[in-house]
Amino acid sequence: MKKTGAQILCESLIKEGVEVIFGILGGSVLPIYDTFPQYPQLRHILVRHEQGAAHAADGYARATHRAGVCIATSGPGATNLVTGIACAYMDSAPMVAITGQVARPVIGRDAFQETDITGITIPITKHNYLVTDVRELARTIKEAFHIAQTGRPGPVLIDIPRDVQQEQTDFVYPDKVDLPGYRIVSRGHPAQIKKAAKLINEAEQPVIVAGRGVIISQAYDEFKEFAEKAQIPVAHTLLGLSCFPGDHILDLGMMGMHGTGSANMAVQNADLLIAVGMRFDDRATANTREFAPNARVIHIDIDPAEIGKNVPVDVPVVGDIKSVLTALNEEVDRREHVDWLSQIDQWRCEYPSQDVRQSNELLPQYIIRQICEATRGDALMVTGVGQNQMFVARYFTFTRPDSLISAGGLGPMGFELPAAIGVKIGRPDEAVWCVAGDGGFQMTIQELATVTQENVAVKIAIMNNRALGMVRQWQELFYSQRYVDTKLWNPDFIKIAEAYEIPGVRVKRREEVRPAIRKAMEDPGPFLIDFFIEPEENIYPIVPPGECLARFFEPSRTETWQRKSGVSITEF
Amino acid sequence: MALVEDKPGVLNRVASLFRRRSFNIESLAVGGSEHPGLSRMTIVAIGDSAQIEQVRKQLEKLINVVKVSDITEGNMVTRELALIKVKAAASTRSEIMQIVSIFRANIVDVAPGSVTVEVTGDEDKVNSLLGLLRDFGVKEVSRTGRIALTRGSSS
């Protein structure tokens, strides 16, 4: 029996195990939406802006480890997806983005709502397709899911002209893909693993730097076994948080620009770095020329192009983290690094990482600690971008695997709410907290309608400092306190929530924090807390731009910092 | 040298990658290969070995790129074809023809006031001929960029 392109799309999605699609309609996807009622097993979540669809699909993908699917119409619908696609690409999240395109006869004629979305998304997708023949559609979808979900995951876009959606053909879903140019090395080379093990066994001051690859590979047990057996402390990139228990004796927390003193000092003083599923992003390494000057580097990653991209590597091991660590665990000796760990303990004492200073002001650090304690760490934390993100990264103790969903690479403000929707829909039985800044929250605030329409029980905590906080912090520290356009006039977020039929409370004082969190947790549905935090609170330490990791700055140490570095913090 | 799938947009993907990663292309030539459905691209890019290695690995990540080899160090044959339109008066035409014949090049078009020369060879040969013809006044040049194959029975 012949089927239309739209039916083929829906049936192919079902074959791929897709249950949820995030999207919004428009002229060039009408034939697809017209067939949705025939496939009730596909749940469509109607968002209010295509960026929301892409971030929600991204959140869903990170929460479920399966490709998130989003759909948008041609032209502006497709271009509105771009931020979300780029975000998924930077953070290696599997996604299949489907866009409608104008009908084939008018492609290239600047038709109404025509955009060359395959051209636009070449640098931000793992691959993309323009389907010009309905007979190619099923194979294309099969390939798209395969590419998105295997190897180093990423987004794949399929652009389908409207008349292809309506054209009919026989539907046969292929069993396998034939992609001669797509090869994945999943097992590490045994000789490389032996070389790595030798370096590890000989190291006296080793540090593991763990990235999101550990989480993508779901290698928590293998990773923990590795760290414990070789007794090596673990520093995380932002997205590597929650790959290893934050309360473990070997855990150093986050490294990098806003990393903990102990993580940054350990990395800078290491004689061996074992980089696991991370890509030496500049926010994690700071100045690469002075990065870990005495360390040899082992780099384990599934993407060969990451090896040597940003820092020189002594022993590369290309492969899937889980498989490589399983093999490596056989080869490494059980070790004790008593001196090294006691040195690290000294740094921990010297630079306490989760201290919240005593204050009558409402501090974001205190709020995040309270959410952590109230939930006992048993929550999925979705963050925005900026200070709120760094406060979560630093002050929430991630004790359960895979519990931080944050946009690390692209850093798009406004990620938090739509991503939290996707996370909650992907893992409905878990508590999902969406920590937002007041600036970023207003970039995708319209998705509150999606929250209510779909009854998505996310708990929204706005760290409201009436400012674009991170930028304000940079203006304070690096632009001589010339505050240009970082102060925000904000609407009353509680009234906004009320208009969207979402209950909420405003918190202005410390003693109101716990009751508000408890109230949010007890409410079965969505809930919003507007935390009126101290507006000038900064995230510290900070490694000033261009500096190396060891030269992190915090106000309590201004004098020491200036003595050591010979420059004033305001000179940057 | 890259074997790529003969599909729409592949050249765009390759070119986009070079631009995106700030690698410079000196020349890029593309045409058919011995495999049906696959084209062979010869890309000349300048960089240190780490940069070239990074280019190679980034190219290999493209789904439509089947195989990439860095043949800089290898034993290879390279050729380039150039068409050179050079000013030629009655008084200079025979001198031009002599130079052309020394280079085993051909004159493929003669017009009043100019001749068009076709030359094939490695880049040095094309450059030397072009250098000599400059004295007569070169009006237009079109070069294909290098194409290459490794020597012997490899791959």
CA–CA separation, A300 vs B103, rounded Å?
53
- Please tell me what DSSP assigns to residue A334: P
Please state, for a pLDDT cut of 70, what percent of chain B lies above it.
99
Q: What whole-number distance in Å separates Cα of residue A381 and Cα of residue A432?
A: 6
The yes/no answer on whether domain A190-350 falls in CATH 3.40.50.1820 is no
Query: B103 and B61 in one domain?
Result: no
Q: CB distance B63–A130 less than 8 Å?
A: no
Q: Is the peptide bond before A491 cis (omega within 30 degrees of 0)?
A: no
DSSP letter for each residue of chain B: -EEEE--TTHHHHHHHHHHHTTPPEEEEEEEE-SSTTEEEEEEEE---HHHHHHHHHHHHHSTTEEEE---SSS-EEEEEEEEEEEEE-TTTHHHHHHHHHHTT-EEEEEETEEEEEEEEE-HHHHHHHHHHHHTT-EEEEEE---EEEESTT--
B127 part of a folded domain: yes
Considering its fold, how many domains does chain B have in total? 2
Task: Calculate the average pLDDT of chain B.
Answer: 93
Give, in degrees to the nearest 5, the angle at Cα A519 between A514 and A520: 100
Looking at residue A275, what DSSP letter applies? E
Give the integer Cα–Cα distance in Å for A401 and A242. 5
Question: What pTM value is reported for the model?
Answer: 0.95
Residues A418, A257 contacting (CB under 8 angstroms)? no
Query: How many Å lie between the alpha carbon of A129 and the closest alpha carbon of chain B?
Result: 10
What residues of chain A lie within 8 A of the CB of B62, using their CB? Answer: 127, 181
Residue A387 carries which side chain, given as an amino acid letter?
A: Q
Contact: A123, B20; criterion CB under 8 Å: yes
The pLDDT of residue A357 is 84
> Cβ separation of B8 and A130 shorter than 8 Å?
yes
pLDDT at A564: 59
pLDDT band, very low/low/confident/very high, at B75 (cuts 50, 70, 90): confident
Same domain, B64 and B84: no
pLDDT per residue rounded down to tens, chain A (572 residues):
899 999 999 999 999 999 999 999 999 999 999 999 999 999 999 999 999 999 999 999 999 999 999 999 999 999 999 999 999 999 999 999 999 999 999 999 999 999 999 999 999 999 999 999 999 999 999 999 999 999 999 999 999 999 999 999 999 999 999 999 999 999 999 999 999 999 999 999 999 999 999 999 999 999 999 999 999 999 999 999 999 999 999 999 999 999 999 999 999 999 999 999 999 999 999 999 999 999 999 999 999 999 999 999 999 999 999 999 999 999 999 999 999 999 999 999 999 888 888 888 999 999 999 999 999 999 999 999 999 999 999 999 999 999 999 999 999 999 999 999 999 999 999 999 999 999 999 999 999 999 999 999 999 999 999 999 999 999 999 999 999 999 999 999 999 999 999 999 999 999 999 999 999 999 999 999 999 999 999 999 999 999 999 999 988 766 665 665 655 555 44
Same domain, B7 and B53: yes
Amino acid found at B117: V
At B31, which CATH number? 3.30.70.260
Instruction: Tell me the two tokens of residue A240.
Output: 């590597």
Q: Considering Cα of A98, then A100, then A105, then A110, what sign does the dihedral take?
A: negative
| Superfamily of domain A364-532, CATH level 4 | Thiamin diphosphate (ThDP)-binding fold, Pyr/PP domains (3.40.50.970)
Picking from A98, A153, A177, the residue whose alpha carbon sits closest to that of residue A131 is A98
B16–A180: do the CB atoms touch at under 8 Å?
no
Answer yes or no: do B56 and B93 share one domain. Answer: no
Alpha-carbon distance of B59 to A499, in angstroms, equals 51
Looking at the domain assignment, is residue B135 inside a domain?
A: yes
Give me the phi and psi of A444, to 5 degrees please: -135, 30
Domain presence at residue B50: yes
Q: How far is CA B51 from the centre of its chain?
A: 21
A223: which 2 tokens?
A: 């990773």
The set of residues, in sequence order, having a beta carbon less than 8 Å from that of A514 and lying 6+ positions away, is A370, A374
Q: Residue B74: what pLDDT?
A: 81
| Spans of all domains in chain A | 2-170, 190-350, 364-532
In A, minimum Cα distance to B3 occurs at: A181
- Dihedrals phi, psi of A347, to nearest 5 degrees: -65, -40
Chain B residues bordering chain A (beta-carbon distance below 8 Å): 4-5, 8-9, 12-13, 16-17, 20, 50, 53-54, 57-58, 60-67
pLDDT at res. A563: 60
**pLDDT (0 to 100) of residue A559:** 61
Same domain as B62, residue B6: yes
Give the end of a domain, one of B24, B50, B68: B68
For residue B56, being part of any structural domain is answered with: yes
The reply to whether A190-350 shares the fold of A2-170 is yes
Among chain A residues, CA nearest to B67: A181
The one-letter amino acid code at A459 reads: K
Q: Does the pLDDT value for residue B155 go beyond 60? A: no
Q: Does B63 share its domain with B107?
A: no
Question: Do A181 and B13 lie within an 8 Å CB cutoff?
Answer: no
Identify whether B88 is part of a domain: yes
Residue A289's H or E segment, with its range, is: none
DSSP string of A14-47? HHTT--EEEE---GGGHHHHHHGGG-TTSEEEE-
Q: Which of B42, B68, B94 is the last residue of a domain?
A: B68
How far, in Å, CA of A456 to CA of A475, rounded?
37
The whole-angstrom separation of Cα A246 and Cα A240 is 11
Q: Are residues B38 and B97 in the same domain?
A: no
Question: HSE of A65 in the Cβ direction (CA atoms, 13 Å)?
Answer: 12
**Contact yes or no for A122 and B12 at CB 8 A:** yes
Which of B68, B101, B125 represents a domain boundary (last residue)?
A: B68
Sequence-ordered list of residues with C-beta below 8 angstroms from that of A176, at least 6 positions apart, any chain: none
Using alpha carbons, list the distances in angstroms from residue A283 to A259, A317, A544, B84, B148.
9, 23, 11, 52, 41
End-to-end CA distance of chain B: 13
Specify whether B142 is located in the same domain as B103. Answer: yes
**What are the percentages of helix, strand and coil residues in chain A, rounded to 5?**
45, 15, 40
Residue B155 lies in a domain: no
Nearest CB neighbour to B64, from listed A119, A181, A308: A181
Q: Do B5 and A180 touch (CB under 8 A)?
A: yes
Tell me the nearest-neighbour CA distance from B90 into chain A, angstroms. 50
- What CATH number does residue B96 fall under? 3.30.70.1150
Do B83 and B63 have their domain in common?
no
**Domain containing B27: what range?**
2-68
DSSP per residue, A189-249? PHHHHHHHHHHHHH-SSEEEEE-HHHHHTT-HHHHHHHHHHHT--EEE-GGGTTSS-TTST
A102: which DSSP letter? Answer: -
Q: Which stretch of DSSP H or E encloses residue A118?
A: helix A117-121
Closest in A119, A181, A305 to B57, CB measured: A305
What is the Cα–Cα distance from A327 to A173, expressed in whole angstroms? 37
Instruction: Give me the CATH code for the A2-170 domain, please.
Output: 3.40.50.970
Residue showing tokens 């406060």: A391
